[in-house]
Every structure is written in structure tokens, then in C-alpha cells.
Structure 1
Amino acid sequence: ASTRGLELPVAEPRTVYSAAPRRVVVPHTNIPDNIAGGALVLRQRIDRSGVVVTSIVDQILGPGLNIQNTNLDVLDSFPIVVTGWWLRLPSWDPTETADQLWERLSPALPALEVSGDKDPLIVEADPRVLTVVGLLVEDERDYGQPGPCWMFLLRVRTGTTRDGAPVYGTVLLAGLELNDSTSTRTPIAAGLADKKVAIVGVGAIGHHIAADLARTGVHRLDLVDCDWVDPNTRARSYGPVSHAGMSKTAALAEHLRGTALAGSVGSWDINVTRLFEHDDDSDTERNRRRVLRTLMDADLIIDATANPNATAILNAVALNRSPLLTVAGTPGLWGGWVALVRPGQTGCTECLAHHRADHATLRD
């Protein structure tokens, strides 16, 4: 094809070469022992070559059970929907092959017709391409502690014979459970499960703090910045070329939602030095008020702006409300300083600025 003399490649139709995912991700759940099985709804993602790479469990259904994956930002990247079954398997033999498991379990698989507590859900599986059976088996779940673990039995059509009869292959995969590993690996972080933290400035220092804090499982993480992703700064901050021109907070929030444990991640594009200035534009004014309320409701405000004016504004917001952690680095980030301001227990950031000025090293 050509446009104004430019030769453009013609895109070839994309073919899904493999219907079986290489891995299946399961949200952390505790299914009551009295529920023996039900239905699964999975979402799949394909790579550029058309191969299904990952599946993520969207819903787990059963009698009186309807567990929904709430991370919609992640699910948007998984456009293919597959339905199947799940069974609790008390007699689990690790030496049993995938084909043997299929021969033993497939005759007892019921029709996939499940009703949720509120909205009826009719699921019709198409076994001609891919059949999925999730298995709950007893195995090591957390550091030597036994518990129910997910396995996935996949029955995949791999081709046809010369006579046109379908040929199937069977695969058994261990499920990758999105468990709250912080509760066992870093027990001290358990206290953050109900906390709200706001980070203002997600550049060279702020984006590292956001990434580390999100992995602790903090309940709510809000990112505030007014800058945009510049790929030329990716050596010191989060700025992939694919996100060039996107707001820093939106790009980082998208990354954290898919990789971290935070309950939710919010992004706000605003210059905090104008946080107390009324704006005649209704949308901008509404956004300003929301950010102000978000900061006032935070259990901790982290100032990574390296901007004295922004620090003064955040000091006024946090005053008598919540702790304010201020961080700044030297040019090149060879060093820096950190200060924690506690309402009613320490001085404010203005006191700190005077203290630093009084004790600064004087040079001739």
C-alpha cells in the first residue's frame, strides 16, 4: 500500500497459533471447604506472534459463590474470554499424568450452567478448541504451610488427522496465585493494609518510592504530578518510550496496577503549587478539590518534588493532620536528605528550612 509516495507494509492477519496459555494467574481467594466445584471464567492475552501467553482468572463461580477479579485495569489487557470448570480434588497424586487426570475427571464434568447470587450467569463452553479445568489440590501454599493450591488441566486441540478428526493434547500447569506474600515475607508491612499514602512528585526519587510502597500492599496509593513522560529521562525515572507524552502519574499508575500489591492506585495530574488557587474552569476546579481532599485524607504524604514552593503547600495541607515525609536528592542523586514531620511532635518544614540555613557550611 502507498500513501503520498510512501511505501507502507501491509499487516498480515494475526493467527492464534496456540490456544493453551503458558501460565494461569489466579487471584488470592479462600473458597469455603463445603463448595466442591463450579465454573471458571478466564481472560487470555496473546503476544505479537499470536501465541496465547497468559491467562488470568476473571471469575470463580459455584453454589452461593461468585468471586470477581476487581483489577479491571489488568483485565483490559486480556481480551479473549474462555470458560471452564473448577473442581476440588482431595485425592491428588503428583505422579498422575495430565492424560490420566483427564480420563478420570472428564466423564464427571457437569454442564456449565451456573447461577450467581444476584445475576444469573449462563456459561456455554466450546470444547472444540480449549477446555479448562481448574483443580484445587492440597499442597505447600506458604513456606511449608499446607493448603489448597491451584492446578490447571488444559485440553487443547492441536490439529486434525488426515480423515479430519480432531487431535487433542493435554497439559497440566501449576497456577500462579496472586497471594499477599507480604504477610509472610515482610510481616511488618501488614500494618499498611488499611493505609492511604499520597506521593507528590514521581520523578527520579518519587517513582522508586511508589514502586516499593505499592509492593507492600498499601490499601490506597495516590500519585500526584503535573509532568509528562520524557523518554530522555528514563535513565533516572520511569519513562518507557511506549508512554512518551503520557502523564507521569498515569503511566506509573498503569505499571503499578499490573505488577504490585496495592489495593488501588490513583493518578492526579496537577501542579500542587496552585493547590489553593481557585480555577474558573469547572473540570480543573473539580480536580483541584479532589486532590486537596485526597491529600487531607492520606495517612502519610510523601513530598518528592524537590520544590520549596510545593513543600510549603504540602506542609500547610499536612499541618495538624498527617505526617509529611520530605525527600530530596543532590544533582546526579549522589546524596540527599530525608525529613519526617510529625504533627504536634516535630517542627514543620519551614522550621527545618531555617535550621538547615543556620547550619549550612559556609565557604569563602
Structure 2
Amino acid sequence: MNNWFDENKERYDKEIAALEAAKISYQVDENAKKYGVLRLNLTITAESILLDIPDKFLPLELTVVFPDIYPYSRPQVYALNIALARHQNLTGKNLCLLPRQTSYWLPETLLVTLLNEQLWKVLTEGEQTSSDILKDNPEEQAEPVSEYYQTVNTAPILFDTTAYDAIPATGHSASLIGSVDLGYKTRPVWPFHMFALRQFDEHGNRIADAKDNIKGLYDETVRVPIYKLDKYPPSFDAGKDLAWLKSELEKRNERFKEYRQEVKLSKPEGILKEIVGLTFPEEIRPGEIGQGWLFISTLDFLKPVRKKDGGIKKVKEKHLYYSKVNHISRNDLSFRAPSLSPLADKNIAVIGLGALGAPSAIEFARNGIGRLGLLDIDTVDAGTFIRWPLGLKYAGQFKTDALKNFLSENYPNTDIVSDVYRIGAAAIAAEDVITEIQKDKLSPILDKASLIYDATAEIGISHFLFNEAKKRNLPFVSIYATPGVWGGVVLKVVPSQTEGCWMCLRYALEDGSIPDPPANPDGNIQAAGCGDISFVGTSFELQNIALAGVRMAIGILTALEGGYTDLKADVGVLSLVDKDYQSILPQWAEYQLKKHPNCPYCGTKNI
């Protein structure tokens, strides 16, 4: 990519002319320019024509670095000789002239315009520390100090910090408040994440535990101390801050807590040791102080170095680094989608785990459902990878097992109960001898359900499941696609709320009062070696139906508790092709499900 200032010389000349017109002196860093980077050193004085720069900051030295795609994103402005309480990076010294989102920057804006409109504001508001004023300013955003540390972002600590966040300040610069057992895989490759599996107070009493299914994901643990600080670590350097911590403890004749446990690495050859967790006050919302977190780790390893004779020798190296905490409590997970909080106490039974049911189950777990019941008879066929959501690793597994393993590993807050079972199949063969009562595999899936989610695409099984939901007074959602995935249907039946029922929909589709979705007359296929009829169609077409079903189910379960808005429609009919069978953007037609006069459940006829 060519340099923007060479390709767009007219814009470059405008920038320079505007600086000169504003009486801002500048110097071009010719060495940086030689390597394709435009860096300017500016001096703003009392003679400069800029709005309301406070006199105490003058003369103001600024360094400006332009991005390589300028003017499509903003320049970075550094003030190396001043220190603001806000709106300035504590270590890099860059000024926060605009919020981070690129939508706040217009490509036609010149550097001088940016400085004229924003610099005075940042210099003035950057000295503001009143929490009340900060809370009342809608343009403010929190500035967590932990963001300014150079962390190894690929080596995070996954941690529900709730128990430690509630511990009050101790009145000391650093105090031991407990320890955690960090789980990890045996002989990991660095960098890697660790999970806080068990938490203890300063006396060794256990105060919090991860769920058993999370513990099962990790082979080994290492115990590390947790220290509460009265302010953020001062040096922004992991080695210096660890030394500072030990020094502060020594002032009170307190020894640094060492468990002398190590993590042996497979790559690089070495160990991870002397890991410590630090929590300290930091801004979590404008004007509101909460707890920030960092971990410091010491990596001792052997670094291969080529010798003069061409051979390789291994040299001992030490690297101290910070790790971020990835907060993983249910509150942290629901923070980004608060309308989903009620799902934590809900249970959905998903029946049918094909190309509609499997992605639906993943979405339910991803969005925080408390419990999932999964039921299917089929195994994962490699030929279905084109539209089944999990890939090669799961070939040959029962779909229930594949999904249970995947969901437990990736969304461990959801409890999974599953079984392999074909609803409606004969319990025994013609000549089998019955020696015991057949196990009921359906009831454990349905008994604790808050909603039955039918993704079987089998009309007989859907009919049965609707009646099971009716018998149990449960909401019922059913979804299916048409051959070729030219269209599909989503249906909800909510007790005491939906006028009609599953059978009413069948009659409505039959008489046209609710139109059938389009279907490809050549959309059914049979794969080699498979005894079942399948269909042509893509995952991205099927996702329209699965996601609509998920929205419908989540709305039913959460709306009454102030959660996600329930969909008004009882039935959605999807069209992915027009009347000429040309692909179109998804078009949903919505219908209320009325009682049908021919329905044996709701009308005048008896079944």
C-alpha cells in the first residue's frame, strides 16, 4: 500500500496549510516519513488560533501520528509533557480527543479542525475528578486503569471475581485476601488461558467453586495468592510492580505468599512460576469506582540461540508479564444483554438436533439458558458438515454427545442433560424377548422443561410433542424448513395466550388462510448409503429459521420478567425466493393463530 501523503498530496498540502494558517509551528519527522509514516511535532502557543486553550498548558508540545489509511481514520495526538487525570493514556500519553468508535471521525475533518474542536475540551475536562460531575456528563465514559498495562492478551485468567470484589479495603497498600487454584491443561503451550476453579480466603477457607463441568475441562491446578492494593500498581512494568509489592509487604514485616508451585510448559521449554493476582480500585463507570484486576506471572524458559559454528545452544531467559482477567460470572455474561438475565432459571427441551435444532441449541446455551435437554437418535455424518454447526472433530459421534461436549466446554454455565432416542420407534423387534421394563428416555428431558422446542421436522413427532406440551401446560415452539430451503415456518403455542394450536396451523396451511412457504419441487435428495430422505439447502438459509425460533422461544420465557420482548406473531412464514423462484432477502409474513373450525382440539370436530 502506497503512502497516503504521496497518493493524496492535495490533502497533505491542505493539512500543512491549515497548520500554518492557525499559527501552529510544526516539524515533519523526515526519518519516519522515509519509512511511510507521517509524524508531526507541533507547538501551540498563545499566538496560535485555537479555541480556549488554558494558558497554563501553553506552550503545548504535541506529537501527531497519522494512520496509514488516513483520512479514513483519525490521527493519534500525543501530549508527552503533561499529565491529565482523564482523557489521556497514562503510559502512552496519547489524548482521547474522540471516542474510540470510528463513526465519530469524518474523513473531511482536518487535523487543525480536530484540535480546534476537541483539544480545549479534553484539557479542561481532563482535570475533572468530581464523581458527581462525571456521572452527569453523558459524553463521559469510564477509564479503567487496567487498560493501560501492556498485557499478554492471549494468556488471560478466566475468573468470577465476585467473592473478592466484595472484600472491603484493608487500609494497607497491599494485603493478602486469599488464594485461587488456577486450572490448566497438562504441559501447555505458552501463551494459554487459565481458569480460577477454587477460591479461598486468607485463612484457607473455601469461599467459591467453579461448576464441576468446568473443573473437568482442566487437568491440573496451580495455587496463587491474591492481594488487594489501595491503588493501581505504580510502575506499569510487571517486574518492577512485583518488586514493589514485595517491598510494601516487607515494610509491615509480612512475607510475600509463595506456594512454590510451577506450571511445566511443553513449548517453550520452561516453567511458569510466581503467579500473583492483584485487585485495585479503578473506574468501572463514569465517576464510579469498582475493582480492577491483573495477574503477574514469571516465565522461565530456554531460548534456542544459534552459535557461530551453526549449532544451537539454549540460553536461560526470564520474562515477567501481566495477564488480564476475563470476567466470567453470570452477571458479567448477561451485562451485554441484560434482557436475557431471566434465562438463567429456565430449561428448554430441544427435540431434534439436525441443521435447525443443533444451531438453536448452541444459541440457547450461548445466550445463557440455565438448562438444556437434548434428544436425537442420529450421529454426525461428515457429509452434513456443510450445514451442521460442528465439524470434523465430531464425525461419528451421536449428535447429543457432540453438542453436549461442545456446549459444556464453551458455555459451561448451561447444564446439559441428553439422551439418544428415536421418538415413535418400536421398543422391541418382532422376535425380541422382553426381560425388563423399557427405560423412559423422554421424561427426563421434558419433566423440568420450561418450554418444548420441536426441531424434528417430522409432522407426526411434532403432533406428539405438541400434545406433550399441552398435557404439561408448557409453551411449545416448532420450526421447520421446506425442501430446498426456499422457505420455512416458526410456530408458538403458549397456554392461555395463543388462541389456536398446532393442529389449527395444519388446517390453516391446508385451506390457505395461512399460506404455505415456497418449496423446491426438486429439493429432496437421498445421499449414497443413507436410508433417509434429505434435502438440498444451505446453513445460511436454515439459520434464518433457527434464529427466528430462538427469538420466539426466548421472548416467551423472558418477556414476563422484563426480559427480551416477546414476538407478537404466533406464526412466521419465511420466503427466500420470489414468485419467479429467484433468491430474495428473507421475507417474513406474520400471523396470529386462530382457532380453526375443523381442529379436533379447538374446533367442533373430535379427533
TM-score class, shorter-chain normalisation, is 0.7 to 0.9
User: In 2, Cα distance between the equivalents of 1:271 and 1:75?
Assistant: 32
1:299, CA displacement in angstroms?
Answer: 0.7
Q: Which residue of 2 aligns with 1:172?
A: 322
Q: 1:37 to 1:285 in 2, by over 3 A?
A: farther
User: In 1, Cα distance between the equivalents of 2:426 and 2:449?
Assistant: 16
Find the partner of 2:445 among 289, 294, 302: 294
User: In 1, Cα distance between the equivalents of 2:316 and 2:392?
Assistant: 44
User: In 2, Cα distance between the equivalents of 1:37 and 1:47?
Assistant: 29
Within 5 Å, which residues of 2 pair with 1:149-298?
149-159=292-302, 168-180=318-330, 181-260=332-411, 262-274=413-425, 280=434, 285-286=438-439, 288-289=440-441, 291-298=442-449
Contact 1:301–1:318 under 8 Å retained in 2: yes
Other structure's SS at 1:319 match: helix
1:179, CA displacement in angstroms?
Answer: 3.6
User: In 2, Cα distance between the equivalents of 1:142 and 1:348?
Assistant: 48
Find the partner of 1:78 among 208, 215, 218: 218
Read off the aligned partner of 1:138 and give its amino acid letter. Answer: P
User: In 1, Cα distance between the equivalents of 2:351 and 2:502?
Assistant: 15
Other structure's SS at 2:393 match: helix
Find the partner of 1:103 among 243, 268, 272: 243
Other structure's SS at 1:272 match: coil
Q: 1:78 to 1:237 in 2, by over 3 A?
A: same
Superposed CA deviations along residues 243-301 of structure 1, whole A, max 9, x for unmatched, are 11111111112212222364312222111224999x9576x933x24x31431321111
1:171, CA displacement in angstroms?
Answer: 0.8
Q: Which residue of 2 aligns with 1:308?
A: 459
1:177, CA displacement in angstroms?
Answer: 1.5
1:21, CA displacement in angstroms?
Answer: 7.4
Q: 1:280 to 1:141 in 2, by over 3 A?
A: farther
1:24 aligns with 2:141: no
Read off the aligned partner of 1:132 and give its amino acid letter. Answer: I
Read off the aligned partner of 1:220 and give its amino acid letter. Answer: R
Greater strand share, 1 or 2? 1
Superposed CA deviations along residues 331-362 of structure 1, whole A, max 9, x for unmatched, are 23332001101224433322322222222779
User: In 2, Cα distance between the equivalents of 1:351 and 1:302?
Assistant: 18
User: In 2, Cα distance between the equivalents of 1:275 and 1:59?
Assistant: 47
Structure 2 length-normalised TM: 0.48
Q: Which residue of 2 aligns with 1:59?
A: 198
Superposed CA deviations along residues 124-145 of structure 1, whole A, max 9, x for unmatched, are 6359751210112233557986
User: In 2, Cα distance between the equivalents of 1:171 and 1:281?
Assistant: 64
Find the partner of 2:506 among 348, 353, 359: 353
Contact 1:215–1:262 under 8 Å retained in 2: no
Contact 2:235–2:241 under 8 Å retained in 1: no
Q: Which residue of 1 aligns with 2:142?
A: none
User: In 2, Cα distance between the equivalents of 1:182 and 1:156?
Assistant: 31
Read off the aligned partner of 1:309 and give its amino acid letter. Answer: G
Instruction: Provide the alpha-carbon RMSD of the alignment.
Output: 3.4
User: In 2, Cα distance between the equivalents of 1:334 and 1:139?
Assistant: 53
Specify which structure has the bigger relative contact order, considering alpha-carbon pairs within 8 angstroms and separated by 6 or more residues. Answer: 1
User: In 2, Cα distance between the equivalents of 1:88 and 1:275?
Assistant: 63
User: In 2, Cα distance between the equivalents of 1:263 and 1:144?
Assistant: 35
Read off the aligned partner of 2:506 and give its amino acid letter. Answer: A
User: In 2, Cα distance between the equivalents of 1:335 and 1:303?
Assistant: 17
Other structure's SS at 2:438 match: helix
Contact 2:451–2:475 under 8 Å retained in 1: yes
Q: 1:207 to 1:196 in 2, by over 3 A?
A: same
Within 5 Å, which residues of 2 pair with 1:110-121?
110-111=256-257
Other structure's SS at 1:271 match: coil
User: In 1, Cα distance between the equivalents of 2:215 and 2:488?
Assistant: 39
Other structure's SS at 2:185 match: strand
Identity across aligned pairs (percent)? 23
Other structure's SS at 2:299 match: strand
Read off the aligned partner of 2:475 and give its amino acid letter. Answer: P
Q: Look at both structures and tell me which one has the larger radius of gyration over its CA atoms.
A: 2
Read off the aligned partner of 1:97 and give its amino acid letter. Answer: D
Find the partner of 2:210 among 56, 61, 69: 69
| Range 207-216 or range 63-72, more displaced | 63-72
User: In 2, Cα distance between the equivalents of 1:347 and 1:251?
Assistant: 36
Read off the aligned partner of 1:25 and give its amino acid letter. Answer: L
Superposed CA deviations along residues 117-166 of structure 1, whole A, max 9, x for unmatched, are xxxxxx66359751210112233557986422321110222349xxx997
User: In 1, Cα distance between the equivalents of 2:261 and 2:417?
Assistant: 36
Q: Which residue of 2 aligns with 1:324?
A: 476
Read off the aligned partner of 1:355 and give its amino acid letter. Answer: A
Contact 1:230–1:239 under 8 Å retained in 2: no
Contact 1:87–1:135 under 8 Å retained in 2: yes
| Range 136-145 or range 238-247, more displaced | 136-145
Structure 1: where are the runs of 5+ without partners?
1-19, 113-122
Read off the aligned partner of 2:509 and give its amino acid letter. Answer: R
Q: Which residue of 2 aligns with 1:118?
A: none
Find the partner of 2:182 among 24, 37, 42: 42
User: In 2, Cα distance between the equivalents of 1:176 and 1:261?
Assistant: 15
Q: Which residue of 1 aligns with 2:100?
A: none
Other structure's SS at 1:355 match: helix
User: In 2, Cα distance between the equivalents of 1:318 and 1:259?
Assistant: 30
User: In 1, Cα distance between the equivalents of 2:388 and 2:493?
Assistant: 26
Aligned pairs, number:
325
Read off the aligned partner of 1:70 and give its amino acid letter. Answer: K
User: In 1, Cα distance between the equivalents of 2:198 and 2:418?
Assistant: 27
User: In 2, Cα distance between the equivalents of 1:47 and 1:232?
Assistant: 35
1:65, CA displacement in angstroms?
Answer: 4.0
Q: Which residue of 2 aligns with 1:33?
A: 167
User: In 2, Cα distance between the equivalents of 1:100 and 1:302?
Assistant: 56
Superposed CA deviations along residues 207-226 of structure 1, whole A, max 9, x for unmatched, are 22112221221111111111
1:47, CA displacement in angstroms?
Answer: 8.5
User: In 2, Cα distance between the equivalents of 1:329 and 1:236?
Assistant: 13
User: In 1, Cα distance between the equivalents of 2:363 and 2:154?
Assistant: 29
Read off the aligned partner of 1:343 and give its amino acid letter. Answer: P
Q: Which residue of 1 aligns with 2:119?
A: none
User: In 1, Cα distance between the equivalents of 2:354 and 2:285?
Assistant: 36
